Amino acid sequence: MDSPVAVRRSETETHLRLKRLALLWAQANGYTACAAEVSLPRCRYRADVAAYRPEPKQPGVTALFECKQAVSDLHRDNCRTDATRARLRSLSRRREVLERNLRIHYPTLRTGDSLFPEYDSHDFLAIGHQAYGRVLREFAALQNRLNGGTKFESLVRYRCANLFFLVVPKELFCEGDVPLGWGALVESNEGLCLVRKPVWHDNAAEMRLRFLQRIASAGTRQFNRLFDITRDEIVAAANSA
């Protein structure tokens, strides 16, 4: 029988290993409800791994993990130019410098939009800093070109989860490849190391509940496969009840 995690029969060992490590990392960090290959609410995409961390007296935290095993997963062939990737790295360094300086000179930019202070974001765009705005626009345009689409951007725009993580092997990690607002988990010593923290994306409690329901549904499907339970058997059991 297939492993409950190995949903796609054509899946490579590397991608399966990254998903397993993401599931392990999530549970080690308090996400007690996790599943692989989860269909997401409000969009057509499917998460490699989705996780939910309950919180006392308030909505839980939802996290989404995208596992990339090779450069071809991140870029289409006709967009993989050395000049573009070098420019992305330069823009990433420039953005970090600008944000560091803006935090110092404009401490009131902290939004307080998170229930967890470590994930509080800063509204750097509120002051209309032209140089910072130009860096963000160019960075996003180049990433969309290299990624061959807008999946990462769409997942954030639809607020499918509170936190987003890119999961990659050590040799694949490049700062310029990490989508804006995403965290980065890099394979290291048979585990994952958080090398970049994600930005907190708030959403409604209802959205988080739907996310949790999708995790439960995916887990049910995976264990049905594990125990070889078919749809016909479920229908027959329902009719005999």
Domain ranges of the chain: 13-240
In the chain, which residues have pLDDT < 70?
1-10, 71-83, 108-127, 145-150, 241
Residue 5 has what pLDDT?
46
CA dist 92 and 87 (Å) reads: 9
Q: Dig out the tokens for 11 from the structure.
A: 């899946």
pTM attached to this predicted model: 0.69
Residue 186 has what pLDDT?
97
User: Cβ(26)–Cβ(49) under 8 Å?
Assistant: yes
CA dist 150 and 141 (Å) reads: 10
Handedness of CA 193, 195, 200, 201 (dihedral sign): negative
- CA nearest to 183, candidates 171, 201, 167: 167
Residue 113 has what pLDDT?
46
